[in-house]
Amino acid sequence: MVSLPLEDDETRATNANRAQFGQLFGLAMLLAATAIFLYYTAWTLLMPFVDPGHPLHDLFPPRVWAIRIPVILTLLGSAVVGTFLGLVMIRSNRKKAAKAKAAAKKKA
């Protein structure tokens, strides 16, 4: 039976620090996503009911960007996912071709 080495105090402390950093990073991402969601919601749903001359309009870009930004992000995300899938398919085909070539060479 193989015995595993026990964790020392330094390793345990490092793992605890990593876990704490991960939790803080997750909390920061959650807060950022919440702030962006609230800003976008106020911009798209509340600002049309505010008078055009009100100083609150200075805090938001023109309303046309409320449509452009999500469309651009969707297209960019789709391009990244499509590129990734294309690269995976190309690499998969190369491996299959190499296996077939090796099998054909072995038979010959």
pLDDT tens across the length of the chain (108 residues): 565 666 677 787 788 888 899 999 999 999 999 999 999 999 999 999 999 999 999 999 999 999 999 999 999 999 999 999 999 999 999 888 888 888 888 876
Domain boundary among 43, 60, 77: 60
Range(s) of the domain holding residue 14: 8-60
Cβ pair 44, 66 in contact under 8 A: yes
Would residue 72 count as lying in a domain?
yes
Identify whether residues 51 and 81 lie together within a single domain.
no
In a 13 Å sphere around the CA of 61, the CA atoms on its Cβ side amount to 8
pLDDT score of 55: 95
